[in-house]
Amino acid sequence: MPARPDISPRRTDVHLRVWQAVRKIPRGRVSTYGAIARLAGMPGQARLVGYALHHLPDGAEVPWHRVVNAQGNISLPAAGGRAARQRRLLEAEGVRFAAGKIRLAAHGWPRSAFRS
DNA sequence: CTGGTGACCATTA
DNA sequence: TTAATGGCCACCA
Which DSSP string corresponds to A69-108?
A: -TTS---S-STTSHHHHHHHHHHHTT---BTTB--HHHHB
How distant is C1' of B4 from CA of A101, in Å?
31
**CA geometry: angle at A30 spanning A26 and A32, to 5°?**
125
Q: What is the pLDDT of residue A7?
A: 42
Mind listing the pLDDT tens digit of every residue in chain A (116 residues)? 444 333 444 556 889 999 999 999 999 999 999 999 999 999 999 999 999 999 998 889 999 999 999 999 999 998 889 999 999 999 999 999 999 999 999 999 999 999 87
Q: What is the pLDDT of residue A13?
A: 85
Q: Does the global pTM surpass 0.85?
A: yes
CB < 7 A to strand B: residues 27-46, chain A: 32-34, 46
Positions of chain B reached by protein Cβ under 7 A: 6-10
Q: What is the pLDDT of residue A11?
A: 57
How distant is C1' of B11 from CA of A4, in Å?
43
How distant is C1' of C7 from CA of A113, in Å?
21
